[in-house]
Structure 1
Amino acid sequence: MSWADVWEAMFGGLPYYGEILALVSNSVVAGAVLGLVGGLIGVFIMQRDMAFAVHGISELSFAGAAAALLIGVDVVTGSIVGSLVAAGIIGWLGARARDRNSIIGVLMPFGLGLGILFLSLYNGRTANRFSLLTGQIVSVQSDQLGWLIGIGAFVLVGLVMIWRPLRFDSLDPQSAAARGVPTTAVSFAFMLLLGLIVAVAVHIIGALLVMALLVTPAAAAMRIASGPIAVPALAAVFGVVSAVGGILLAIAGTLPVSPYITTISFAIYLVCRLVGARRGAP
């Protein structure tokens, strides 16, 4: 591939940028919602050491979306069902970290295998199959946008409602249990909220790269901040910048959106890590 081909792939759409942006406005809105909610929930993912769980849930979400694509029903519904099944199993059986990691290790190849099977049986457009793995900026249709925004709003409200007990349980589960916090119920509710937002992430960035918006922004924020307000606020900002910035860059060419989102997210993390190191952060 020549440099001219690379330039065309990355910036060939610049003369038509305004028209393309109008076509993907739904995805920009959905990406902003995902970045905001993903950054906030990512703080608890990091505090509870559950980054591995995000990937496990995304694999079954991918399987559910692939099954929906195969039988001709709404893909968002399929991914939600797959995510909630995975989140429920992990939340129910994985109370301890060792058990949780074992369960996730079993679910991941099972979900990925099912997804590949369903996609192999699907005879429709190849782009539809590829988008479930790596994201597709034009995959969010008008009828789906309401669902995605509604899911994001529901997760956000749910997080606000359980914020204090969830934070207590995330930082010191033994003390939280001793103080009467219903840790089992809080953990299960958190897993269901996580499953819902993962289902949204699959449609923006793809099943393979959801951690770029649900883990990396929070990890970056925790390198340069430590307060109970500063960390979630920064994580939300980093998530929105990564998601929306990636989409706005991707529409200038023909490349998938996921490399842009993951690159921006990773660059933010590197900068925060360097800043944290200069400040003497661990």
Structure 2
Amino acid sequence: MNAIDPGDILGQMFDFSDYGALLALVSNSIIAAAVLGIVGGLVGVFVMQRDMAFAVHGISELSFAGAAAALLFGVNVVVGSVFGALIAALVIGVLGAKARDRNSIVGVLMPFGLGLGILFLALYPGRSANKFSLLTGQIVSVDDPQLGWLIGMSLVVLIGMLLIWRPLSFDSLDADVAAARGVPTRFLSFAFMLLLGLIVAVSVQIIGALLVLALLVTPAAAAMRVSASPLLVPVLSVLFGLVSAVGGILLAIGGSLPISPYITTISFAIYVVCRVIAWRRTRRRTTLPALAVGV
């Protein structure tokens, strides 16, 4: 067995010899990632507030199954991904009003969607690279029509989020009080699930089905570690998502690996830094009173 040369591994990960030419080829992908980082950061705030990180993973599995089916039957992969994500969002939204019901439904949908997607990929006679990219993401030359699809769906999600932002925030913080005040909590939950399904479908095209949480959960989770402000948390979440998505693509351009390891690593590093900041703040708050008592 031949030993793996660490230099070869680094060469696959980072090789910026033709960076300028490669950067021009993936300009549309960078724009798509930037849009995804912004919208995903906003949606992620409510994903965390409503404890729906598990639901994101379940929707991504059905989105993957829809994309794999589209690949097999020669249909637009984006359309298949959106179709699968919306079916999952509808099922979870209708049947999973309570957190316990939602988690059990997601637990049923995840293996079903993953198994169905693997079946479609096994039947697909085309290149293996197309199969692999649905799971882990891949830098591709996104043409103008595809970019239009991605931006269009992201704008729908963004506009929808802005329209329901205030009542959704109220419902996310205290659903019982919101319902007592006449807030249409059932409608808001259903509408948010549909918007979440759309942004998950978009995310699958960039980072892959298995690692979609890196853009829809981790940035918001990191932002909530360093702030509790209803204004600053969304701003930080968007910033972290944007840095993760665009930064991951800019690094991945110089290598021959899928894009997802770069995006997830940046996203995780941001989360770790925010955890450390939160820990130091907590430690300082507990240390200062103790010193004051000692004095």
TM range (shorter): over 0.9
**CA distance in structure 1 between the aligned counterparts of 2:277 and 2:40, rounded to whole angstroms:** 23
- Amino acid in structure 1 at the alignment position of 2:191: A
Query: Counterpart in 1 of 2:257?
Result: 255
Q: Residues 183-262 of structure 1 correspond to what in structure 2 (within 5 A)? A: 183-262=185-264
Query: Counterpart in 1 of 2:9?
Result: 6
**CA distance in structure 2 between the aligned counterparts of 1:82 and 1:141, rounded to whole angstroms:** 23
CA contact under 8 A between 2:58 and 2:106: conserved in structure 1?
A: yes
Unaligned residue ranges in structure 1 (runs of 5+): none
**Bigger radius of gyration, 1 or 2?**
2
Identify the match of residue 272 of structure 2 among 270, 273, 278.
Answer: 270
Query: Counterpart in 2 of 1:123?
Result: 125
**CA distance in structure 2 between the aligned counterparts of 1:143 and 1:127, rounded to whole angstroms:** 22
CA contact under 8 A between 1:31 and 1:240: conserved in structure 2?
A: yes
Deviations 1:128-180 (A, max 9, x none): 00000000111633321100011111100100000001000000000000000
**CA distance in structure 2 between the aligned counterparts of 1:63 and 1:259, rounded to whole angstroms:** 22
Query: Counterpart in 1 of 2:67?
Result: 65
> Per-residue deviation at 1:4?
2.2
TM-score (ref. length: structure 2): 0.94
**Cα 1:75–1:139 shift into 2, 3 Å:** farther
**Cα 1:181–1:241 shift into 2, 3 Å:** same
> Per-residue deviation at 1:194?
0.1
**CA distance in structure 1 between the aligned counterparts of 2:227 and 2:115, rounded to whole angstroms:** 40
What count of residue pairs does the alignment treat as equivalent?
281
Runs of 4+ in 1 over 3 A off after TM superposition: none
**CA distance in structure 1 between the aligned counterparts of 2:90 and 2:275, rounded to whole angstroms:** 34
The reply to whether residue 114 of structure 1 matches residue 116 of structure 2 is yes
CA contact under 8 A between 1:246 and 1:264: conserved in structure 2?
A: yes
**CA distance in structure 1 between the aligned counterparts of 2:104 and 2:258, rounded to whole angstroms:** 32
Query: Counterpart in 1 of 2:28?
Result: 26
CA-based RMSD of the aligned residues comes to 1.1
CA contact under 8 A between 1:139 and 1:203: conserved in structure 2?
A: no
Deviations 1:247-267 (A, max 9, x none): 000011101110000000000
**CA distance in structure 2 between the aligned counterparts of 1:217 and 1:81, rounded to whole angstroms:** 26
CA contact under 8 A between 1:169 and 1:176: conserved in structure 2?
A: yes
Of 167-176 and 2-11, deviating more is 2-11
Unaligned residue ranges in structure 2 (runs of 5+): 286-295
CA contact under 8 A between 2:44 and 2:217: conserved in structure 1?
A: yes
- Amino acid in structure 1 at the alignment position of 2:168: L
> Per-residue deviation at 1:274?
0.5
- Amino acid in structure 1 at the alignment position of 2:106: I
The reply to whether residue 80 of structure 1 matches residue 82 of structure 2 is yes
**CA distance in structure 2 between the aligned counterparts of 1:140 and 1:134, rounded to whole angstroms:** 17
Deviations 1:223-249 (A, max 9, x none): 001111100000000000000000000
Query: Counterpart in 2 of 1:103?
Result: 105
Identify the match of residue 46 of structure 1 among 42, 45, 48.
Answer: 48
CA contact under 8 A between 1:36 and 1:239: conserved in structure 2?
A: yes
**CA distance in structure 1 between the aligned counterparts of 2:70 and 2:253, rounded to whole angstroms:** 27
CA contact under 8 A between 1:155 and 1:197: conserved in structure 2?
A: yes
> Per-residue deviation at 1:7?
2.4
**CA distance in structure 1 between the aligned counterparts of 2:141 and 2:217, rounded to whole angstroms:** 23
